Structure 1
Amino acid sequence: MEQRRQMGLAAALSVVTGESIALGIFLTPAAMARSLGSPLLLAAVWCGMGFMTLCGAICYSELAITYPLTGGEYVYLRQGYGTRLAFLYGWMSAAVMDPGIAAALAVGAAPYVLSLFGLPSRAQIVIPAVILIGLALLNYVGTRLSRRVMTTANLLKIALLICLVIWASISKHATVANLLPLTERRPGSEPLFAAVAGAIISAFFSFGGWWEAAKIAGEVRNPRRNMPLAFTGGVLLVTAVYLLVSASFLMVVPLEKIVSNTAFVAQFGEALFGTTGGKVLSACVLLCVLGGLMAITMAAPRVYYAMAKDGAFFAPFGKLHPRFGTPANAVLLQTTLALLVLCFGAFNRILSFIIFSAVCFLALSVTTLFRMPQPVRRWWFPAAPIVFLLGCTIINLMILMHDPIPALVGLVIVLCGDPIRRVFFAKTTINTNPLPEQIPS
């Protein structure tokens, strides 16, 4: 049974924006603004990261057109470098990255559920598990249903953020005077290099996840048209939303009054909506987090499915549900691992471990453009991949300079996948040429 192409442009666009716009937009602008100390520097970092991300999105568009198959980076690395490197990427995704991000987002959503519905604090223990299981069931029973829910949630999320910007302006709570002087750094700002380095890393985290749309390319209708529009349109939309929301935040709460990330959310909500501000902002944050969780719960299992179809992973995860047509076993695997991560609780540590390796695999995926059987003949080549690769290099150097231990431990965890491959899958013969019927004309 083959996967059906039942996702349109809206669904692919929702994966790009849904993964990127999650908890980070409510937390990172405060820390970035406080350390940079200048509204113009903050805007420059957002624009710079947006430009780098756009270059990466253009590269991924070309890869998705060339290999419009389920699996994303796994497929690109398999085609460009062979099964060994592709397996290491899949191992990182399955063992650490996907369940770690899903668990962290679910835990991040829990306090806002408590605030919004007035639940007792002891409920915070079970809320993340309930969220993960609920989304797993949604993705288990049907791609069409989960696609519609995800698309609706992410459209609502973007509309809600834009409404916050508009309300801040028309309610007269926002004033341009809070942004002035634009270029002058405020007292108490961090040293310039450290501030810019930290802000760039935070901005990368906030944009993170746009590449997940590549994993569903095998289920998108007319991928030659829809995948480039989803990647480039999604990244441009995310950049615009981040610039507008950050400007509104600072026009309502001036730089000098920012105390901490969590306090900043409360300050902004109270300034706009008075005593009910906490619940209003909790609803906004919750919608953003759930949209991100829906996107990763849909996209991540497609990697395990693609690996199993190749014979590079255990066969049951390469089967579609006979009734629902979803990679049901792969969905269950991703959710089970995320629930296990909840038991350990070390979410920040796990995410720190995989960030360095994740950036390495992103860069390696883009380098496969230089290894295509047919040379890439686009107006942006080779400028876009070079800009993106330079950006990835700078980010990883900053991570190593800031705290090398988690990065190196994460790299060791990834390399541990090689002996697993040798024991279980070394004798598997994999056809790296896509089947003709998999690629639409």
Structure 2
Amino acid sequence: MSHNLKRKITLLQATSINMIDMVGIGPFVVIPLVIGYFNSPLFLYAWIFGAVIAYLDGMIWSELGASFPLAGGSYNFLREAYGRRGGKLMSFLFVWQTSIQAPLVVASGSIGFAQYVKYLVPLNLYEEKLVSVVVIVFLVLLLYRKIETIGKLSVLLWVGVMITIVWIIAGGFTHKQIPYNFWPNDTSEFFKAAFWIALGQGSVKTIYSYLGYYNVCHLGGEIVRPEKNIPRSIFISITGIAILYLAMNISIVGVVPWQEAKNYSFIVSVFIERIYGIGAARIATALVLWVAFASLFAVLLGYSRVPYAAALDNNFFKPFAKLHPTKEFPYISLLYIAGLGIIFSLSFSLKGVISAILAMRILVQFIAQSIAVVLLRRRNKAKVLPFSMWVYPLPVITSILIWLFVFFSTGWFALWGILIALAGVIAFFIKEHFEKKAILLIKKEERSSTTF
């Protein structure tokens, strides 16, 4: 049924979808947190480190995405790489964690959206929760249409994202008052344990802000010329966002000193207010909400294809394989992720969600995919790859080591990630057990009917 998906998304549209996914509420919320971890001008290195991780991991996604341009992204990569038995387990684990993690991502974005609304309009707890629910419902209505329309809509949302960030950068550099030097007077700071602990904790937050560079892989079955456009989209997205993030950080602390910036939840609003006044700050806050909305749009679009791909492969519940009868998109999958996202948004606060999201994904997805590249290369020695990463296997080895560093930097959430994975393994074997019993029962009934 996957052949029914139409290849309508161009390079520009794919890059737009990636970039609006990357620039969600994340950077506007985590900038003060990252500064607080370092409590020094060295906080910028967490953003640089996050970009390095994105580039290394982007090579892995590009090689896999160009080779297997199908709906579902990681689901297909893991299924193909780990063989018949292992592939079924690993792809099931990916869907297992995605079925929890994707709605958490949706919830985190909607909660952050509602928190920024509070800058404009005073809200009590129940009103704030209502806003987070309404924004998800509205996004579902927007996504309930054909993919070519969504591709055009994503470009419009991307324009809003770029306007917001460029305004922040331009405002800071044209009104810069405070000198900022991210290079320490004493280089021994780089070799102290405090720096590396802060780098690990800060990078958990900055990586969250970079996540989304791979969204195009989840839409692999709908990308025009995927063997070229998937890698191009990934690297263009990472490069553009890394430059914008670094410039935005330098711009903000050039107006609001880092010693003070770490204390503000609405750092962008405070920053704009310092330069242009309260009226402009309200406009900036509205634009931040636009960015958060656009990111949630991309998240729901990409993740809704994952359960769909698994269901097509008989590795998830069959209703998720259904396409909308007239608009040709996986609507059951979309409704499930949005619905569970609403439940999570009503149940949890934003605190800790970012670390939880990353801890859940590192083992089953990021590290597992790094190993997948090695397995696939060994299996297909003579095959020419549509995209081949540079200086292989160095990016794979480096990526795995860095992901392990980040994983343990999430603290107790690393244990949560391990337990979620173990629960998935148990669920897989329970599912296999009952499926075998069902098959044996059918065969027994067939033999009985043949006898009579």
Q: TM-score range by the shorter chain?
A: 0.7 to 0.9
Give the match for residue 416 of structure 2.
406
Matches within 5 A, 1:257-268: 257-262=260-265, 264-268=267-271
CA drift at 1:149: 2.0
Give the match for residue 242 of structure 2.
239
TM-score scaled to structure 1, two decimals?
A: 0.87
1:246-271 CA-to-partner distances (Å, cap 9, x unmatched) read: 00011011123234241534431221
1:88 aligns with 2:93: yes
SS in 1 for 2:54: helix
1:44 aligns with 2:49: no
Q: From the superposition, tell whether residues 424 and 271 of structure 1 become closer, same or farther in structure 2 (CA, over 3 Å).
A: farther
Q: Is the 8 A contact 1:80 1:371 kept in 2?
A: yes
- Aligned partner of 2:375 among 371, 377, 385: 371
1:416 and 1:308 map into 2 onto residues whose CA distance is 19
CA drift at 1:183: 1.6
1:145 and 1:106 map into 2 onto residues whose CA distance is 23
Q: Is the 8 A contact 2:360 2:416 kept in 1?
A: no
1:137 aligns with 2:141: yes
CA drift at 1:103: 1.2
Q: Is the 8 A contact 1:252 1:271 kept in 2?
A: yes
Q: From the superposition, tell whether residues 38 and 349 of structure 1 become closer, same or farther in structure 2 (CA, over 3 Å).
A: closer
CA drift at 1:326: 0.8
Give the match for residue 273 of structure 1.
276
1:427 and 1:75 map into 2 onto residues whose CA distance is 27
Q: From the superposition, tell whether residues 51 and 342 of structure 1 become closer, same or farther in structure 2 (CA, over 3 Å).
A: closer
Give the match for residue 35 of structure 1.
37
Q: What is the one-letter code of the residue matched to 1:79?
A: E
Q: From the superposition, tell whether residues 267 and 340 of structure 1 become closer, same or farther in structure 2 (CA, over 3 Å).
A: closer
Q: From the superposition, tell whether residues 196 and 350 of structure 1 become closer, same or farther in structure 2 (CA, over 3 Å).
A: closer
Give the match for residue 427 of structure 2.
417
- Aligned partner of 2:331 among 319, 328, 347: 328
Q: Return 5+ residue gaps in structure 2 as ranges.
A: 187-191, 440-452
Q: Is the 8 A contact 2:140 2:338 kept in 1?
A: yes
Q: What is the one-letter code of the residue matched to 1:212?
A: N
SS in 2 for 1:22: coil
SS in 2 for 1:210: coil
Give the match for residue 226 of structure 1.
229
1:326-363 CA-to-partner distances (Å, cap 9, x unmatched) read: 11111111112112223423554555444223011211
SS in 2 for 1:305: helix
Give the match for residue 308 of structure 1.
311
Q: Is the 8 A contact 2:359 2:413 kept in 1?
A: no
1:33-77 CA-to-partner distances (Å, cap 9, x unmatched) read: 2432443x3333322221221111122111111111111110000
Matches within 5 A, 1:6-405: 6-39=8-41, 41-81=42-82, 82-94=87-99, 96-116=100-120, 118=121, 121=124, 123-170=127-174, 172=175, 174-175=176-177, 177-180=178-181, 182-184=183-185, 191-262=194-265, 264-345=267-348, 348=351, 352-360=355-363, 361-372=365-376, 373-375=379-381, 378-400=389-411, 404-405=414-415
Q: Is the 8 A contact 1:321 1:328 kept in 2?
A: yes
Q: From the superposition, tell whether residues 424 and 104 of structure 1 become closer, same or farther in structure 2 (CA, over 3 Å).
A: farther
Whose radius of gyration is greater, 1 or 2?
A: 2
Q: Is the 8 A contact 1:6 1:219 kept in 2?
A: yes
Q: From the superposition, tell whether residues 385 and 347 of structure 1 become closer, same or farther in structure 2 (CA, over 3 Å).
A: same
2:116 and 2:199 map into 1 onto residues whose CA distance is 30
SS in 2 for 1:78: helix
Q: What is the one-letter code of the residue matched to 1:297?
A: L
CA drift at 1:226: 0.7
Q: From the superposition, tell whether residues 381 and 416 of structure 1 become closer, same or farther in structure 2 (CA, over 3 Å).
A: same
2:113 and 2:62 map into 1 onto residues whose CA distance is 31
1:217 and 1:427 map into 2 onto residues whose CA distance is 35
SS in 2 for 1:141: coil
Q: From the superposition, tell whether residues 71 and 427 of structure 1 become closer, same or farther in structure 2 (CA, over 3 Å).
A: farther
1:129 and 1:369 map into 2 onto residues whose CA distance is 39
Q: From the superposition, tell whether residues 320 and 267 of structure 1 become closer, same or farther in structure 2 (CA, over 3 Å).
A: same
CA drift at 1:191: 3.5
RMSD between superposed Cα atoms in Å? 2.6
